Structure 1
């Protein structure tokens, strides 16, 4: 079964549920909402969303070599962590502020101050969406590639968050016109943010050793950076506590060779960095499908 069939890319819940959640984040005690979700909602979700639960359980058993009891506990903690991240997302939609620390801030600002565009690569770990609201750049527009089928409430609130700063969403389209927007953004010296751990549309991928097993990483994001020969940052935003996050920034190195060789080298660097972050935050892996081959 392909990734496209296993993962819809859409935040669960109806429009009224999302609006209710925003209202709760604004009017009810945050900790109370979180405890209610972990005690009552998460067990229900694990019971009836069996495919996602099994995929994460397999991650802890097969990729981290945990016994059944520990893997089950970490699977539950993973779901609670994901719930906390979703609540933090809606908390920001309601106007709340998070406490965010940034490592290697200079790597980002040095590229912002340069005349050239650059690429930011992200993954579905932690809460990368927070980066889009934190990494400000008055001199460069921040362009984020986003999935077009996301829930309406989420997309509406993302637009509200983005329009307040020099930010722009590039929506993935079936006619592939988003590729021209991406190319133009880099040509204009802007920032282009791309997810680099899931295959969208094209089936082209690299088979890379990742946590000791072969996994598929899409060619597209790395090919874009290699073709334009721009700087590349791997950025991961990891939850460290109650309303607290740490942004990890790592610059990948453009190497010698043709576009194909340089793109592949970027992919291997990216996978290695992602592996290091995952080893530090194993319960913040949120790819709820069988990621490995």
Structure 2
């Protein structure tokens, strides 16, 4: 089964079609169209579906019927998160609501003046969470990510929607992203990092995840351990048609080793996967 290749899937034509429908016919119509599109992927995206079914049946130990139902829901909700992403970029936010469990933790981090490191995962919809956080808690959200999206899609999204409402810190071979992270923290900004996927050839840490060995990227936990900034684990799961549930954990204020932070992170990730199994958006063999 294939590993993650660092690239966002999706065609330029698909983005154009959904942006058009969101703009002209609204979110409800886009969601209805999405049911057909995601059912097609459920039928024919065999590798991705196989990875999900394996995760649900052999890791979470769901019966076959429930695993298939969750896989179908997973494809649809993942499609919804992409539509929601476009809707936010287009400024169509009036229909959305959210609750933020432990929001005070982020307010306290902001008021501490050292910035904050937010570790998250490909569960739920972090990009929409970043748009929700911006302006409510802090004027600036930085997201550290591989700059590997197809260039034509990036250009179209930027031109059509004005681009993301937060800053992107692209991971570079020359490690210039470390300087950018430092500068953001010095300016009392939040830096968010996905910490659940690694690329072949990159340094990783092997940890127990649901009783099996899995490889996690080492870099995010090294960053979290080296800077003098609070660290919290933040997730944003879709909990209704137009609603999101955001959560943050009690910040780590003292310096810990990367391995210690990684173990705490994985324990929280397990809790979130159990709570929202249909929003596990890792479509490849996650385990060693």
TM-score between both structures, scaled by the size of structure 2: 0.89
2:30 pairs with 1:71: no
1:10 is aligned to 8
1:134 to 125, 132, 135: 132
2:78 to 56, 59, 82: 82
Residues 108-151 of structure 1: per-residue CA shift (max 9 Å, x gap): 01111122122011100000001211213586642211221214
Aligned partners of 2:283 and 2:17: how far apart in 1? 25
TM-score between both structures, scaled by the size of structure 1: 0.87
Aligned partners of 1:105 and 1:156: how far apart in 2? 34
- Report the secondary structure of 2:282's partner residue: coil
1:52 is aligned to 48
2:37 to 15, 38, 41: 41
Structure 1: runs of 5+ lacking an equivalent: none
Cα shift at 1:187: 3.8
217-226 or 120-129, which moves further after superposition? 217-226
Pair 189,31 (structure 1): closer, same or farther in 2 beyond 3 Å: closer
Pair 47,175 (structure 1): closer, same or farther in 2 beyond 3 Å: farther
2:167 is aligned to 168
Is the CA contact 2:110–2:188 (under 8 Å) kept in the aligned structure 1? no
1:153 is aligned to 153
- Report the secondary structure of 1:251's partner residue: coil
2:116 pairs with 1:118: yes
Aligned partners of 1:156 and 1:193: how far apart in 2? 24
Residues 79-111 of structure 1: per-residue CA shift (max 9 Å, x gap): 111111111111212221121211111100111
Structure 2: runs of 5+ lacking an equivalent: none
2:274 is aligned to 279
2:250 is aligned to 251
Aligned partners of 2:109 and 2:171: how far apart in 1? 25
- Report the secondary structure of 2:245's partner residue: strand
Pair 214,220 (structure 1): closer, same or farther in 2 beyond 3 Å: same
1:186 is aligned to 185
Pair 46,87 (structure 1): closer, same or farther in 2 beyond 3 Å: same
Residues 143-178 of structure 1: per-residue CA shift (max 9 Å, x gap): 211221214434664683545xxx421122343322
| Count of equivalent residues | 282
Q: CA RMSD in A?
A: 2.3
2:265 is aligned to 270
1:27 to 24, 27, 40: 24
Cα shift at 1:47: 3.1
